[in-house]
Each structure stands twice: as structure tokens, then as C-alpha cells.
């Protein structure tokens, strides 16, 4: 029953794992409050990226951490019961989650939780994904309303690459954007932002046709045997930009990333196209339909013997999880 009390240690471990979720520039714009064996998820407006003034991408990030939390708790033997936006007077109060003890934990639930630790945002070029048809079927099966999933065909690849270049070009002289991007990629040890090891060199960036242009690093060129990017592109979209749709999009993003990780595939979320109105409109026109594009995901293979890169940093748990008596 919903009144079952979960140990604080279980909640702590689950939140720690859930916070491996991806977020825009690794900004981690979430805050958890634990009380009475329950968890509340809040948007932390102080963590929102300036370029995301509507907080749409911050909500997507919070949706991803919410789905990661459900996965983590399932592996610990608990089923999450989520009420989204429980208080209309508090728009930053995104969800309250109660838990019911599960009869058993399946191998698949453990596998999915392990995928949280194995997942990385990989900005390097990918090989074409193997066994793509069954993966595509699985991905379509994990998407629920109000989110739609669109598989971008090869015939649209060049056009979307042009839209990617356009989105970058429109920000070429946006000094505030570039200053913020440089701040989130500063080359010193921090608990948020994107470390240099997770960025690409100019030569590597040239081999990826759909991706954000980050400050140039001096990393040696990697994956030379892969050549240019041969990833498959998936688009997540929603009917509106309402907070509920954005949160649901983040939950869908989490599901897609974890399914791909379990299938042995690498992933990279791409959002710079949908941050610029012209780029977003062009993307919507290319794929058709009335939905609003929210996020692209590159999916592909990597060399089998390649060493898994170190995980990107996360904020101390004491900064994101608070226990209320």
C-alpha cells in the first residue's frame, strides 16, 4: 500500500543514482525533498540556464531525473506512484512520489538501473547502429502520450544537418550565449558543467554533422576508424510547450537513452536546434505534423574495445536532497 515507509538509506541511494540523469550543460536543475518515506521533486530555478528562459529544457531535464528515480527505485524493490504538478499554486513543485513494495525485482529492472551508470552523453562520431530494426521497435514501444517519437530517415539527414548549422550561425554573434557556454565548459574541476574530456576537438566536431558547437578543445582526435558520423536520428516532440508536456518529454528521453544503453548503443541528446525559433520551425517543417520538436537524439555504435569514458561530475547529494522531519 502507498503508506509503506521506505528507509531513508534506500531513498538516498535511489536519488544518488537518479541524479546521473542528463541535463542541459549538466546544469542539474532539480531539488529533492524526502519526508515520510516519500519524495518530492522540485525545479530549482537557480540552476536554470540563462539561454533557457522559459525553463522548457530545465523541465525536460527534471523529467529525465524523475524517470531515472523510478528506475532506481524499481531495482531496489519499490514501485513509484507519481503525482505530477500536485499544487497549482507552486509551478516549481513538479511531482510527489509514493512507493509500494514490489513482490520481486526482475533481471530487466536491475539491467535498466545498471544502464544509468553505463550511459554517457557521447559527442564523438558513431558507427551505424547494429540490429536497428528491433531497437526501433522497442523505442516506439516505450513512448507514451503526450510525447511522439519520429525516426528521421536518411533522406532528411542533409536537411537537418543544414538546420543544425543554421542554428549555430544564428548565434554566432550572441555574446551572452557564448559566454554562458564557456562558463559551463570551463576547464577546471567542478561538480556541474561539461568537462573537457566530454567535449570534442575541432576535427572531431567536423565529422559530426548534427550537433552543438562547443568551445574548441585540444583533445587528440579519436575514433578515426569510424570516420564521419553514421548515427540514426530520433526526434521527440509534443503537442505543446506546457510544463506537463516538457516534463513528460524528459521522462521519454530517459526511457530512450536507457533502452539504447541496454542495447549496447551510444547516445547524444541534441537541443541547440530547438533553442532557436528559426531552427525549430525548420525542423518542424522537415518532419511534418503539428507537434513541436523538443529534442533530437543521435544513436549509434562505438568500437567494441573502446574504454568507457569517466562519468561527468554531479553535485554533492547534500545540495540536491533534503530530509524534512
Provide the 3-class DSSP secondary structure of residue 57: helix
The whole-number pLDDT of residue 308 equals: 85
Distance CA 246, CA 58 (A): 9
Which residues lie below 8 Å from residue 135, measured CB to CB, with a gap of 6+? 129, 259, 260, 263, 265, 299
Where are the domain boundaries for CATH 3.40.109.10 in the chain? Answer: 8-120+312-323, 132-300
Contact 263, 138 (CB under 8 A): yes
Please report which confidence band the pLDDT of residue 314 belongs to, taking 50, 70 and 90 as the band edges.
very high
Query: Roughly what angle, to the nearest 10 degrees, separates helices 8-18 and 107-118?
Result: 50
The whole-number pLDDT of residue 1 equals: 41
pLDDT one-digit tens code per residue, 7-20: 999 999 999 999 99
Contact 243, 251 (CB under 8 A): no
Distance CA 75, CA 147 (A): 25
pLDDT one-digit tens code per residue, 213-268: 999 888 889 999 999 999 999 999 999 999 999 999 999 999 999 999 999 999 99
Residue 2, pLDDT > 60, answer: no
Which residues lie below 8 Å from residue 253, measured CB to CB, with a gap of 6+? 22, 60, 63, 64, 67, 236, 269, 295, 297
pLDDT one-digit tens code per residue, 172-202: 999 999 999 999 998 877 899 999 889 999 9
The domain defined by 8-120+312-323 folds into: NADH Oxidase (3.40.109)
Mean of the per-residue pLDDT values of the chain: 95
Provide the whole-model pTM: 0.96
**How many other C-beta atoms can be found within 10 angstroms of the C-beta atom of residue 322?**
13
CATH of domain 132-300: 3.40.109.10
Amino acid at each position: 500500500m502507498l503508506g509503506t515507509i521506505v528507509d531513508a538509506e534506500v531513498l538516498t541511494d535511489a536519488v544518488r543514482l537518479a541524479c546521473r540523469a542528463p541535463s542541459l550543460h549538466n546544469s542539474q536543475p532539480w531539488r529533492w525533498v524526502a519526508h515520510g518515506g516519500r519524495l518530492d521533486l522540485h525545479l530549482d530555478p537557480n540552476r536554470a540556464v540563462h539561454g533557457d528562459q522559459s525553463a522548457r529544457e530545465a523541465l525536460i531535464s527534471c523529467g529525465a531525473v524523475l524517470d531515472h528515480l523510478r528506475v532506481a527505485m524499481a531495482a531496489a524493490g519499490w514501485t513509484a506512484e507519481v503525482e505530477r504538478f500536485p499544487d497549482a499554486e507552486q509551478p516549481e513543485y513538479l511531482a510527489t512520489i509514493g512507493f509500494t513494495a514490489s513482490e520481486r525485482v526482475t533481471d530487466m529492472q536491475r539491467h535498466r538501473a545498471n544502464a544509468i551508470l553505463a550511459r554517457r552523453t557521447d559527442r564523438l562520431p558513431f558507427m551505424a547502429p547494429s540490429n536497428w530494426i528491433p531497437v526501433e521497435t522497442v523505442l516506439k514501444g516505450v513512448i507514451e502520450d503526450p510525447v511522439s517519437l519520429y525516426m528521421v530517415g536518411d533522406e532528411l539527414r542533409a536537411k537537418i544537418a543544414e538546420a543544425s548549422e543554421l542554428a549555430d550561425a544564428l548565434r554566432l554573434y550572441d555574446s551572452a550565449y557564448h559566454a554562458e557556454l564557456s562558463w559551463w565548459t570551463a576547464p577546471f574541476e567542478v561538480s556541474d558543467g561539461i568537462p573537457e574530456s566530454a567535449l570534442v576537438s575541432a576535427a572531431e566536431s567536423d565529422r559530426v554533422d548534427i550537433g552543438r558547437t562547443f568551445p574548441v578543445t585540444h583533445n587528440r582526435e579519436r575514433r578515426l576508424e569510424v570516420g564521419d558520423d553514421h548515427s540514426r536520428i530520433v526526434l521527440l516532440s509534443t503537442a505543446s510547450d506546457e510544463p506537463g508536456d516538457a516534463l513528460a518529454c524528459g521522462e521519454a528521453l530517459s526511457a530512450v537513452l536507457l533502452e539504447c544503453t541496454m542495447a549496447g548503443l551510444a547516445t547524444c541528446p541534441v537541443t541547440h536546434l530547438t533553442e532557436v525559433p528559426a531552427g525549430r520551425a525548420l525542423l518542424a517543417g522537415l518532419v511534418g505534423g503539428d507537434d513541436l520538436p523538443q529534442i533530437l537524439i543521435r544513436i549509434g555504435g562505438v568500437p567494441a574495445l573502446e574504454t568507457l569514458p569517466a562519468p561527468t561530475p554531479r553535485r554533492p547529494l547534500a545540495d540536491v536532497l533534503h530530509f524534512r522531519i
